[in-house]
Structure formats: C-alpha cells, structure tokens
C-alpha cells in the first residue's frame, strides 16, 4: 500500500509537471533544437571569422633607407612587404610588414619561414 501511495503521489505530480512542461517544452523544444544547431553554427562561424587581420613585421627602422633595404631583402626571399610610417615618441618609425593575413596561422607560418631565413620578425594583430 505505501508503494501504491507513492506511485499515486508521483503520478499526479508528474501529470501537472508534464502538462506544464508541454507548453514550456514546445517553446523549449523549438528553442533547444534550433539553439543547438544554430549555437554550434554560430560558434563555428565565430571561430572561423576572426575580427583581426594579421601582419608579420620584419622590422621598424628610424630611416626610410633602412626600411627600403629590409623590404628589398624580403623581396629577394620572395615576399612582398609594405612600408608604413608611424610617429613614436616624436620620431618617425618606418615599419616593414608582410600581410595582411586573415588567419593567424598563416601569419605564424610566414613568421617561422622568415626567422628560418634569418629575418627577425613579430606577429602584429590589427582590428578589422
């Protein structure tokens, strides 16, 4: 008899929960299946869409001539570099960079190649 009472107690309790859960479950069911695939898709997209561009900086020089020489060295190694000017502490610095790269891995691979060729370099990340 106690087991029957427990079953009877559970049955009515589960019916309202099930009845209450059905409208919620419909909403949850719509959200849950769509949230999982869309959530996974959003995560996948966010993982592939990087908000940054990457450059490999092969030097920052106090003169245009130094930057030109480094750019020529990179050209001899087969990489096209650009020179950009920037004011730092009241002085112009000429930065030699290769890129942009949409993926960090691509920039890191080039950085390794440059360093293997004896060119010190740094990875630079710029917000798109």
pLDDT band at 37 (very low <50, low <70, confident <90, very high): low
Q: How far is 109 from 13, CA to CA, in rounded Å?
A: 62
Pick the CATH number of 52-127 from 3.30.70.1070, 3.20.20.70, 3.20.20.80, 3.30.70.20: 3.30.70.1070
Contact 70, 114 (CB under 8 A): no
Q: What is the pLDDT of residue 33?
A: 55
- For 8-34, how does the pLDDT look when each residue is reduced to its tens digit (9 = 90+)? 444 444 444 444 444 544 554 444 455
- pLDDT, tens only, 43-82: 665 556 789 999 999 999 999 999 999 999 999 999 999 9
pLDDT at 49 (0 to 100): 75
Q: What does the domain layout of the chain look like in residue ranges?
A: 1-49, 52-127
Higher pLDDT, 23 or 93: 93
């Amino acid at each position: 008899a106690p087991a029957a009472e427990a079953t009877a107690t559970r049955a009515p309790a589960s019916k309202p929960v099930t009845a209450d859960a059905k409208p919620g479950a419909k909403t949850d069911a719509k959200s849950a299946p769509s949230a999982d695939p869309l959530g996974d898709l959003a995560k996948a997209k966010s993982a592939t869409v990087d908000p940054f561009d990457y450059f490999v900086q092969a030097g920052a020089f106090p003169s245009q001539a130094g930057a030109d020489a480094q750019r020529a060295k990179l050209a001899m190694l087969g990489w096209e570099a650009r020179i950009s000017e920037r004011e730092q502490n009241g002085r112009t610095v000429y930065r030699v960079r290769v890129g942009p790269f949409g993926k960090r891995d691509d920039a890191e691979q080039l950085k390794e190649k440059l360093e293997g060729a004896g060119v010190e370099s740094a990875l630079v990340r710029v917000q798109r």
